[in-house]
Amino acid sequence: MNFSRYLIPTLKENPSDAEVVSHQLMLRAGLIRKLAGGIYTWLPMGLRVLRKVEAIVRQEMNAAGAQELLMPGVQPAELWRESGRWDFYGRELLRFVDRHDNEYCLAPTHEEVITDLARREIQSYRDMPLNLYQIQTKFRDEIRPRFGVMRAREFLMKDAYSFDASEDAAAQSYQIMRQAYMRIFDRLGLRYGVVEADSGSIGGSFSHEFMVLADTGEDAIVSCPACGYSANLEKAPVRLADAPAAAPKAELQEVATPAAHTALQVAKFLKTKPKSIAKTMIYIADGKAVAAMVRGDREVNEVKLKNILGADVLELAGPSAIVEVTGGPVGFSGPVGLTIPVYADAELAQIPWLVVGANKADAHYTGFNLGRDAAGATIADLRNLAAGDPCPSCGAPPTLARGIEVGHIFRLGTKYSKALGATYLDVDGQAKTIVMGCYGIGVSRIVAAAIEQGNDEAGIVFPLAIAPVSVAVLPMRAEGPAMEAAQRLHDELWALGVDCLLDDRDIRPGVKFKDSDLLGVPLRVVVGPKGLETGEVELKKRTAPQPEMIPMAQAATIIAKLVVDGGGQSL
């Protein structure tokens, strides 16, 4: 592979529209180019990375006994109506009509299609266990696509679906996938965690996420060093000390709080602390307004709230809806006198008095007691676990970290098989409902996540397993003995099965060094005039501080051994 012949359009400057480091570096290294919001072209070097990820995923899925198939991206509305998701999936489901005015969508996921296949082709308990997967393009019409391929609209996903005759067998299929996923992420050379997770719009009873650990990750992870518990913050329950509801300690009293909209402003104005305020947030859940209360220094966990409500769509109410529902403007909502359902975080019940909004401009109540003043409120775990809270499993102090979700495995139970009538004949001749699981890996997102985890000021630090090439050979001059020796080494490496890029461009060596580092190539070999005299070349691992000289005659075998021994790790 000669650099001069390849389309590798590296950029010196950071593109102005890229917010996160992986997006910046993927553009700068010439791995991707944007076509439209959330829609990218993978250039040759980027595609090499993507294909390496894909190959590892495919090998491990096959090794785990899953069978690859390929389902369509364009799917008829009828199937989505059968599952009920045509109405409930929301606007991320891109819908359209064809020339005959039939309704279709661009598939964001394939439970409907695979369950339709299963109900036609699975006849008997003998046809299971069955695990079918594909590596295929998905489309989700994200309201705000961002971070390059990290949260794109069109993206590449591996999605697998298991079919079993019983919950026990399904649990086994789930474990097989969990193990396969760990082998996949091990081989990819990524640091990752496996965490309990919410099942979201896919549904089912039980799920785990695979998180690539990176400080820049969108997700927060709760981990307990004492007991090994690990969960997405969305999912982690808050365990409160068992304590009775606090008795009132003061009268409810309206006070003026001019222009104090936020908990912080109210606390400051009333000379108290945010933890003595109760925030009341108005949400619209499946079209109906509800109120959710948490302490002023806490955040509502919308996933918990959504699950408690059993809602399909949950969003914060806009200003006019708030006025309509509470009678007061944004920033002054409170539970007193509300006619909509009120949900209060459990810790509020243990506080004798709180400040709450009075549902009119520039006014709050002091002395609020949940049991006395909002007796109809539903008390529940509504907030994010925070520093100081105990581990939900063992009670020890957990740690918080950040991660990027790259895999998600679900026990689906019979959610889809029941909706679509996917049954099998059991050993006793009885028709029973198939038990399903589904298992996703964000193939294109893994590329971005690997870069969020592996980068430095010079560029990308790819794990060896997924680098666009394992080795870059840099002749100091594009012609003459250095170029000839470099060409020989390049050819020897390919003959040994090591993928290698020869930077044959007639440019300053400094630019070659920079591009090799920017692309994240794990091993760089410089063939220069000095080495030619001594019969040596300069070998540098991407993250090593210094290069080393190795004999030119053995260079190819030394490097090939490094690549084999390196496994998936960054060098």
Closest among 91, 11, 86, 85 to 43, alpha carbons compared: 11
Sign of CA pseudo-dihedral 326, 329, 330, 331: negative
Q: Tell me the two tokens of residue 129.
A: 């266990």
Q: Looking only at residues 6 through 25 of this chain, which bind a copy of itself when binding is defined by CB under 8 A?
A: 6-7, 9
Taking CB under 8 A as the binding criterion, the range among 4-12, 293-301, 385-393, 527-535 that sits at the site for a copy of itself is 4-12
Torsion of CA 133, 134, 135, 136, to 10 degrees: -140
Contact status: 43 vs a copy of itself (CB under 8 A): yes
Contact status: 184 vs a copy of itself (CB under 8 A): no
Assess contact for 228 and 242: CB atoms under 8 A: no
Nearer to a copy of itself, 46 or 413 (CB): 46
Identify residue 508 by its one-letter amino acid code. R
Contact status: 76 vs a copy of itself (CB under 8 A): yes
Binding mask 272-301 for a copy of itself (x = CB under 8 A): ------------------------------
Contact status: 47 vs a copy of itself (CB under 8 A): yes
Contact status: 561 vs a copy of itself (CB under 8 A): no
- The count of C-alpha atoms lying within 13 angstroms of the C-alpha of 144, restricted to the half-sphere facing its C-beta, is 0
Instruction: Sort 253 into a burial class: Cβ within 10 Å, 0-12 / 13-18 / 19+.
Output: exposed
How would you classify the pairing of strands 74-76 and 39-42?
unpaired
Residues contacting a copy of itself: total by CB under 8 A: 52
Place of tokens 């689906």: 412
Distances (CA, A) of 444 to 53, 186, 269, 518: 8, 17, 49, 19
Contact status: 94 vs a copy of itself (CB under 8 A): yes
Q: Looking only at residues 135 through 164 of this chain, which bind a copy of itself when binding is defined by CB under 8 A?
A: 137, 139, 141, 143, 153-154
Taking CB under 8 A as the binding criterion, the range among 113-121, 206-214, 312-320, 405-413 that sits at the site for a copy of itself is 113-121
Among 55, 82, 86, 117, contact with a copy of itself (rule: CB under 8 A): 117
Contact status: 130 vs a copy of itself (CB under 8 A): yes
Contact status: 69 vs a copy of itself (CB under 8 A): yes
Alpha carbon 288 to chain centroid, angstroms: 29
Least distance in angstroms from the C-beta of 183 to a copy of itself: 20
Sign of CA pseudo-dihedral 46, 52, 55, 60: negative
Among 14, 67, 543, 569, contact with a copy of itself (rule: CB under 8 A): 67
How far is residue 122's CA from residue 135's CA, in Å, rounded to a whole number? 22
Nearer to a copy of itself, 44 or 319 (CB): 44
Give the other-Cβ count within 10 Å of 307's Cβ.
18
Identify residue 327 by its one-letter amino acid code. G
Contact status: 98 vs a copy of itself (CB under 8 A): yes
Least distance in angstroms from the C-beta of 160 to a copy of itself: 13
Assess contact for 159 and 133: CB atoms under 8 A: yes
Taking CB under 8 A as the binding criterion, the range among 121-129, 166-174, 205-213, 381-389 that sits at the site for a copy of itself is 121-129
Q: Tell me the two tokens of residue 21.
A: 């480091």
How would you classify the pairing of strands 342-345 and 288-295?
parallel
Nearer to a copy of itself, 100 or 271 (CB): 100
Contact status: 41 vs a copy of itself (CB under 8 A): yes
Contact status: 73 vs a copy of itself (CB under 8 A): yes
Assess contact for 299 and 384: CB atoms under 8 A: yes
Least distance in angstroms from the C-beta of 315 to a copy of itself: 14
Residues contributing to the site for a copy of itself (CB under 8 A): 4-7, 9, 33, 35-36, 39-44, 46-47, 50, 65, 67-76, 91, 94-96, 98-99, 102, 104, 106, 113, 116-117, 120-121, 126-127, 130, 132, 137, 139, 141, 143, 153-154
